[in-house]
Structure 1
Amino acid sequence: MSHTTRQKDKLIARVRRLKGQLEGIERALEAEAACVEVLRQLASVRGALSGLTAEVMEDHLREHVLEAATDKERHEGGEEMIEVIRAYMK
C-alpha cells in the first residue's frame, strides 16, 4: 500500500485547504483588495503548497528509499525522487 493511500484523508484535507485559499485570492482580486492583502494570501498558499510537497517527498523517501525491500527498489525510489526534485526546482 502506498504512503499516499494510507494518508489519503490527511492529504486531501490539505489540498482542500489550499483550494479554499486559492478561492480566497480569487475573491480578493475580484473585490479589488489591496495588493498587500493579495500578496499575503499568495505567500500563505505558497507556504501551504511547499509544506504539502515536502511531506509527500519525505514520505516517498522513507517508504521507497529508506525502507525499500530491495536494492533495486531503493535505486528506483531514489531515481524517482531525483526526477521530482529536478521538476520542482524549475
Structure 2
Amino acid sequence: MEAVERALEDENGCADVLQRIAGVRGALNGLMAEVVEDHIQEHVADAELTTEQRSEGAAELIDVVRAYLK
C-alpha cells in the first residue's frame, strides 16, 4: 500500500499506479488464500471437532468469503 501511496504522491503515471495496485491485490489474494486454507484445516476439516464446531467454522468462512468477493 505504501508503494501505491508514494506513486500517487509523486504523481507517477497511471500505468505505474495501476501496476502497483495490481501487485497489492495479488499479495492480498495470496494472503487470503493462506488464511482460508488455515481456517479450513483448523475449523472445518479437523477430525477432533464436533459437528457443531465444524458448522460454525464453515459458516464463518462463508461469511468472510462473501464479504471478500463483494
TM-score (norm 2): 0.90
Which residue of 25, 35, 57 maps to 1:77? 57
Segments of 4+ moved more than 3 angstroms: none
Identify the match of residue 33 of structure 1 among 4, 9, 12: 12
Which residue matches 2:2?
A: 23
Match of 2:40 in 1: 61
Instruction: Give me the identity figure in percent.
Output: 55
- Higher share of residues assigned helix: 1
| Distance across 2 between alignment mates of 1:44 and 1:88 | 17
Unaligned runs of 5+ in 2: none
Q: How many residues align?
A: 69
**Which structure 1 residue ranges, 5 or more long, are not aligned?**
1-21
TM-score by length of 1: 0.72
1:22-45 C-alpha deviation (Å, 9 max, x unpaired): 111111111111111111100000
The amino acid that maps onto 1:57 is V
